[in-house]
Each structure stands twice: as structure tokens, then as C-alpha cells.
A = this chain, B = another copy of it.
Amino acid sequence: MATCEENEALSSVLNQVPPLLTDLYQFTMAYAYWRAGRHNEPAVFELFFRDNPFGGGFSLFAGLSDCLLFLQNFTFSDDDVEYLRSVLPAGTDDAFFSYLRELDCSSVSVSAVPEGSVVFARVPLLEVSGPLAVVQLLETSLLCLVNYASLVCSNAARFRLAAGPTRRLMEMGLRRAQGPNGGLTASRYTYIGGFDLTSNALAGRLFGIPVAGTMAHSYVTSFSSLEEVWPQTLAPCGGGGDPIDFICLVKGWLGRVCQLLGSKTNLVREGELAAFLSYAIAYPQNFLPVIDSYSVSCSGLPCFCAVALALCELQYRPLGVRLDSGDLCRQSLEVRRIFKECSKQFSVPQFESLIIVGTNSISEQSLAELNKKDNEIDVVGVGTHLVTCTRQPSLGCVYKLIEVRGRPRMKISEDPEKSTLPGRKSVYRLLDTDGHPQMDLICLSEEPAPKAGVPLNYFPLGLNKAVQTVTPVQVTSLRLDVFTCGQITFPLNSASESRERAQISLQTLHPHHKRLQEPHDYTVALSERLHTLVSDITKGNSKGSNFLLSN
């Protein structure tokens, strides 16, 4: 469970989600309900998305904690109400604004899939019930909080799958996100989706995500001469010895390294050497420079080896290098080869465990290719393609009315994909004999739960699919009550708790559903009773959407 401090921090950041951050039409609709005396009618909405993102077979659900904190704090200030008074049409009854001023979510309840769960298209992830006008007003903000969180979390999970299980992944997309909050959201939810580290310091502070980073090219290019290195000495690790002239020590190593590599010391950039020296003197136990500011082979790599060998001589452990341009695989192989040669030639076993970080416009595809090709990259940093979700920058979640005053509601579109599923529902996940999820079954909430070992009929979602039968081996209920009459009733998960759930949830998923390309379709199905209700309403046989019989 999240710590108190974390919740407070989270909550203070999320106080940035004022209830006015919504579409104006929520207020015009709320007024029309209020004017008709319908605002307190019990109503139910559900939130879902229509297609799994990125051409994949699954998604991860995220954003729930943000939603719950938003609901808990949902009230309009006097200023909000005055603004609304100024933009709603003239003639809006004054009493409506008093009503808005008093509103909160104390009559709202929510059931939801836990954050970090593997989910599928068309399955209702969030069911929001309460007074019609209030649950309508919540629409845009809830969509905004779930949409991007789930999308970027799912994107991160795909990068994780593409990278293989052992390579470490670092998120570094803050500068390319949709503004400050976009960047913070990205750091949180890519961590939940399976990343290991972030460059974002505030995300580290707020969410407890491990942070990392050492230097940019600007640090390297800010140096031009060895005269800028200060102090010029470094004491051996442990503090037991006198400070050594570190520049002199490194120069000695540089000669030997260049000899070993067959490279020329006069192609080494003095500024790059100065930058590495200076950084190593400041952080002798955290030496991981970016080595491509000029030329990796002529300058960056010889400079790194010289400084790192000098550090080793003083009993420090250099960490490794970062490559940020060019062919990362080829370069990493070359860099590793040199590390091994140094290790052998100079008897420095520390050089066997140096890490190589690669960061150059990594996409899911380039990561998957990198994973297939020979390379020596231990840590991959990903920015733009991860946080902007280049391949599909929106999940397209929707929030649809499914019941009013106990009567199922349905939107019947001329575009069948845009039709909705009426009525309150329960969602069950059926597992196969190996414990893999095999189907999500959507039932009406008044139906009894499916039982393990008992055959049941179902209608797979999709165009005109016929009835089929399955005997589930194990049945779990997908959603939990998380918010009841204004109170959060489910522990707010910390980022690392949700991350753990995501890992477990992904592990149980069958590999053919996890494939990044052409995954098997996962079955999402309706119970017979729900299927019948849909048919009845579509044909106009139900109270759901009467035709006008007489006028």
C-alpha cells in the first residue's frame, strides 16, 4: 500500500485536477437534467476502450488511484461557479448554481479493475454509479485520467516484452511529453508497465521510482582544456592515502590505452578528457560518461578507458558508458571488446562488469531488433517513442451510460462499433487448465456467477458470432468495489505495488496473446442473457429505447 506521505504528495499533485477541467457540455446537460428534475435519478456509466492499442492483443489498466483521489476531492469553488454562470446560456436558473456549489461525490460509487491488471477491449473497466447529473459531470476528467495512463503503461509493457526480461529499461521522456503533468504521468505509468528507472527527479520523489542519470553532451562540450579541471587530485578510495595528481595519472593511462587500441593521442579531444576527469573527481564511484560528443573511437572511448583505469588503480569502481548516436549495436560490441582487452591487458577485472547504456530514439521496433541482433547494451533509455506513444497516441477510452432508474440504456449507432452494451454488469475472467486467462465473460449483474466445471453458453463479441459453449476451470471476478458513497474503499496502490500486479498479470497471460505482432485474439464474450437484452433493445422490443408508438 502507498505510504501516507506518498498519498499526500500524489494528492497535492492531483489537486491540479479541478472539477472544472471538463467539457462545457457536461454542465449544459447537468442543467437540463436538473431543470427536468432528473438530476438525482440513479444512473450508471461504464468506462472502456474499443480496441487494444498498438495492434496488440492486450492492454494494462492504469490511472485508478488518480481517479479515486479526483472523486474524493470533487467540489466546485465559488470562483468555478461564477465562471460557469458567465458562460452558461442566459436564463439558466440561479438555483442551479447553488446546486453545483453543494455538489460532491458522496452519493457516487465505483467498481473497477485493480490498477496494473491485464485488460482487453470492450470490457467495462470502471462502473460509476450515482445521481445522473453528478456521474455525467465526471465523464471527461475520468477519461482524461485513465486514457493516457493506460496507454503509456501498455506501451511500456510492450517495450518490456520487446527488450526481453533482463535488459534494464530507463524512461527519459520528460522533455518530449505533453507538458509537465504529461511527463510526470509518463514516468509513473511506464514504471508500472515494467520500466526500471526514470530520469525524472520529481517522479522519483513523488512515486518512489528509482532515478538515474549522469551527464549530457553539454557537460562534455563545456570543457575545452585540462586547465579547467579542478581539483586536480583524487585520494584513493577509502580515504586511506594521500591525494594523487589525477591528471598526471590519467595521462599515463591514456598513452597505454592508445597504444593498446592503436589509436593516436593527438586525435583525443582535450575538452572531452577534461570533462571526464572533472566528473570522475566529483563522482569517482559513479563514473558513467556519454562518450559520443566528438568521436567514440578516436576520443570518447580512449578517454573513458584512461579515466576508468586510473579510478581502478585508486580502488574505485567506474560504472560504464553511454552511447547516444549512430549504430548502437555495432558500437556496443566494439566497446565491449575494448573493455575485455583492457581487462586482460591491464589486469583490471572491474572492466568485465562495466555497463553500456544505449539511448538513441529507441522505438519498440528498434528495441525488438536490437534484442535479436548481437549487441552488448545493458541498459536502454527510451524517451520520445515511449511517452508520446508514437504508434498510437490515444487509447480512445469512452464513458457510456448503461442504466437509468434501474432501466438499461443503450446507444444504437448506425456504426455498429459505436453501439454500447446496456445494463449493469459483472465481468468474469475464465482461466484454462494451465491457469491462463481464456475468456472475459460479461454478464448482467443479476445473473449468478459462472461456476468452475459447469458448462455455459456465450456469445463472442464481434459481428454475428454464434453461440458457443465453454466449461471454465477457474472463474475470477474482474472488478472490485473501490469507492463507495464518497469513500475510497480499496487501498490506493503505490507505483511499485501496481507494477508488481502488472508483472504477475502479464506472466499469467498466454504467450500467444502477448505476441507484439499478430497476437491471437482474446475472447471477450456476452452471457446469453446480456446477448438477449442487446438484441431486444436493438429491435426495439424492450423498454430500453421505445419507438414512438403514437403521437
Contacts and interface: CB of A to CB of B under 8 A. Distances in A.
Interface of A: 13, 16-18, 20-29, 31-33, 35-38, 43, 45, 79-80, 83-84, 87, 89-92, 132, 136, 139-141, 143-145, 147-149, 152, 172, 174-186, 199-202, 204-205, 211-222, 224-225, 228-231, 251, 254-255, 265-271, 273, 278-279, 281-286, 292-296, 325-326, 384, 387-390, 393-394, 396-397, 399-401, 404, 407, 409-415, 418, 420, 543-549, 551
B224 A543 contact: yes
A21 B182 CA distance: 11
A54 to B, nearest CB: 13
Given A174-B23, A222-B132, A148 B265 contact: no
A90 B24 contact: no
A265 B545 CA distance: 15
A545 B271 CA distance: 6
Given A38-B228, A202-B20, A144 B174 contact: yes
Given A16-B16, A90-B285, A390-B393, 17 more contacts: A25-B213, A28-B286, A35-B231, A36-B228, A36-B230, A139-B218, A141-B180, A144-B180, A147-B176, A148-B178, A181-B181, A224-B404, A266-B547, A270-B545, A270-B549, A388-B394, A389-B393
A107 to B, nearest CB: 17
Given A219-B29, A393-B388, A36 B283 contact: no
A32 B282 contact: yes
A446 to B, nearest CB: 19
B547 A201 contact: no
Nearest to A418: B325
B32 A279 contact: yes
B199 A83 contact: no
Contact of A397 (B148, B149, B174, B175): B175
**Interface-central residue, A18, A205, A285, by most chain B CB under 10 Å:** A205
Contacts of A32: 215, 219, 278-279, 282-283
A168 to B, nearest CB: 15
B547 A269 contact: yes
A183 to B, nearest CB: 6
Given A36-B282, A404-B222, A551-B265, A176 B394 contact: yes
Given A180-B17, A282-B35, A396-B176, A401 B28 contact: no
A23 B283 contact: no
**Interface-central residue, A199, A230, A394, A544, by most chain B CB under 10 Å:** A394
Contacts of A202: 18, 20-22
Given A217-B411, A228-B36, A269-B546, A285 B178 contact: no
Contacts of A384: 393-394, 396
Contacts of A92: 283
Nearest to A21: B202
Contact of A25 (B35, B214, B268): B214
A68 to B, nearest CB: 15
B221 A410 contact: yes
Contact of A175 (B147, B211, B251): B147
A316 to B, nearest CB: 11
Contact of A278 (B36, B174, B294): B36
Nearest to A388: B393
A224 B546 contact: yes
Contacts of A180: 16-17, 21, 141, 144-145, 181
B25 A216 contact: yes
Contacts of A549: 266, 270
Contacts of A225: 546
A228 to B, nearest CB: 7
A214 B28 contact: yes
Given A140-B174, A396-B384, A547 B270 contact: yes
Contacts of A394: 176, 384, 388, 390
Contacts of A211: 24, 87
A221 B28 contact: no
In the complex, the 4 A-B pairs of residues with the closest C-beta atoms, listed nearest first: A181-B181, A25-B213, A178-B182, A178-B178
A397 B31 CA distance: 44
A261 to B, nearest CB: 15
Contacts of A551: 251, 254-255, 265, 268
Contacts of A295: 414
Contact of A283 (B89, B217, B412): B89
B326 A414 contact: yes
Contact of A87 (B79, B204, B218): B204
B546 A271 contact: yes
A292 B411 CA distance: 9
A22 B282 contact: no
A211 B20 CA distance: 12
